[in-house]
Amino acid sequence: MCRSIYVYVLFRTAGRLRPARPPYVGPRCGDSEMPQSPATPLPSPKERRRLREAKSLSHADLAARIGVTSETVRSWETGRSAPRGRKRETYAKLLTANAGANADQEERTTTTTTIRTSTTTVDKAATEAGPTPPARTHPLRTKPSPGTRSTSRPQPAAKRAAKPLTPAPMTSPAHAHAHAPASAPAANGHIRPLPVRVTRPQAARPPDQTPAQAFDALCAHCAPGLVRQTYLLTGRRGLAHESVERAFQLAWQRWPEVAVDRDPAGWVRAAAYEYAMSPWHRFRPSLRHPDAPPAQPADRAFLDVLLSLPPAQRRALMLYDGVGLDLPETAAETEASTPATANRLLNARETIAERLPDLADPEALHRRLAEVGKAEKLRLPKADRVRTGSEYRARFWTRAAIAFTALIIGATALTLRNAPTHYEPPQAPGRAISGVPPRMGPGPLTYEDTTLREKLRAELPNGQDRLAPQAR
């Protein structure tokens, strides 16, 4: 018994002398007992969607690469859920791969520009000092060869319109020379440029614009291309101008919605295409006869083949080969599935290649679409007239709606005022009855009868005189 007490006291004393350990905190709800590495950082949901569209990937393509469904990728982009584990790492690599490549390309381009500027300055100084062997510089080739086709799609007009239409600030040679370090003489006496520190130019912040100025910039940037595209879709110059003007009027009416849209030019383009290809135009008397064909026979033949295509194929061909959208964006704008849009494009290209073999190449078809559109002299809508016409149309329809509502209210009030309040049964029509004897009664009174009646009424009807006759 004493030994056990001694052991207990010794154990307690050793525990007091031992440094205190932090209290154990068990795993919280949602945490794993196993140690985890920090999660891979991901961009925001909107940035995820922008990066995916910049790589020209649809939800199905990205889901196939990761090994999930398209609905899962949509939930990741909307923020309803987040990937975990290896899928998170794969998703982050796929999104940031293109962004890193673009940053490296921009870094290399900026470095080449700055080095070229500094080399030019150093060569000028060497020429003033004395004759030196010419130094050749080999800048980076940024233009692809004619035989290869770029796999990245051109930037949509919507994103170009959303960005400010001011050129990026460029570094002048004097500014670059002021910031470049001095050149050091080499051992053989020639001037050798020192390494130059590359400074990335900062993009100028666009000034605050009023809604009218932003709309005018969008109209000036997108109207020429839209007029040419709608002309190729319809073959009518007046309808092309009317479609684009109506689309911009609708955009000005809904400008708060269009201004915050991620693709304002795409919004206007979809409205112009819908109005231009509406089937109701065939009932307009002014559009029963076709317009004058193009002057060149080649342009006339190409336009005839293009207008012979079904409207769905014509629109898909214009968006993919004319505007330069990729297949998922073309399918989204035409409100069709990606396989259906691909079939429309293939059928349209086959039809054009059968009748015009020179346009079997997609690049040749793209150039031909641009040439035929630019060859015609088309009227462009003016931004101020578009805004004025949109406001006038809005006022007209507002007043018409108010007048129609007042007319309905007045007619209803008049009906309630003159309507019967109770049921009146209809009267039967009268008809003659035969076989009934005439009604018998006294005839008309004579003069004596009338005098007697008046005399009787004038005398007193009661009294003593009635019983006692008067002696005469």
pLDDT of 165 strictly over 90? no
Name the segment(s) of the chain with CATH classification 1.10.260.40: 39-128
What pLDDT is stored for residue 101 in this prediction?
A: 54
The model's confidence at residue 283, banded by pLDDT at 50, 70 and 90, is: confident
> What is the pLDDT, as a whole number, of residue 156?
40
Over residues 393-452, the pLDDT tens digits come to: 899 999 999 999 999 999 999 999 998 888 888 888 888 888 888 777 777 889 999 999
Confidence (pLDDT) at 304: 92
Give residue-wise pLDDT tens across range 17-40. 444 444 433 434 334 333 444 567
pLDDT at 461: 65
The mean pLDDT of the chain is: 73
Residue ranges matching CATH 1.20.140.160 in the chain: 211-385
Model pTM?
A: 0.47
**pLDDT of 467 above 90:** no
Query: What was the pLDDT predicted at 45?
Result: 86
Q: How confident is the model at residue 223 (pLDDT cuts 50, 70, 90)?
A: very high
pLDDT level of residue 188 (50, 70, 90 thresholds): very low
- Whether 306 has a pLDDT exceeding 70, the answer reads yes
CATH classification code of 39-128: 1.10.260.40
Three-state secondary structure along the chain? CHHHHHHHHHHHHHHHHCCCCCCCCCCCCCCCCCCCCCCCCCCCHHHHHHHHHHCCCCHHHHHHHHCCCHHHHHHHHHCCCCCCHHHHHHHHHHHHHHHHHHHHHHHHHHHHHHHHHHHHHHHHHHHHHCCCCCCCCCCCCCCCCCCCCCCCCCCCHHHHHHCCCCCCCCCCHHHHHHHCCCCEECCCCCEECCCCCCCCCCCCCCCCCCHHHHHHHHHHHHHHHHHHHHHHHHCCHHHHHHHHHHHHHHHHHCHHHHHCCCCHHHHHHHHHHHHHCCHHHHHCHHHCCCCCCCCCHHHHHHHHHHHCCCHHHHHHHHHHHHHCCCHHHHHHHCCCCHHHHHHHHHHHHHHHHHHCHHHCCHHHHHHHHHHHHHHCCCCCCCHHHHHHHHHHHHHHHHHHHHHHHHHHHHHHHHHHHHCCCCCCCCCCCCCCCCCCCCCCCCCCCCHHHHHHHHHHHHCCCCCHHHCCCCCC
Higher pLDDT, 164 or 62: 62
pLDDT at 88 over 70: yes
- Which pLDDT score is estimated for 84? 81
Whole-number pLDDT of residue 107: 53
Is the pLDDT assigned to residue 154 strictly greater than 90?
A: no
Average pLDDT over residues 38-60: 82
pLDDT of residue 73: 86
What confidence tens digit (pLDDT) does each residue in 323-366 have? 989 999 999 999 999 999 999 999 999 999 999 999 989 899 99
Is the CATH number 3.40.50.620 carried by domain 211-385?
Answer: no
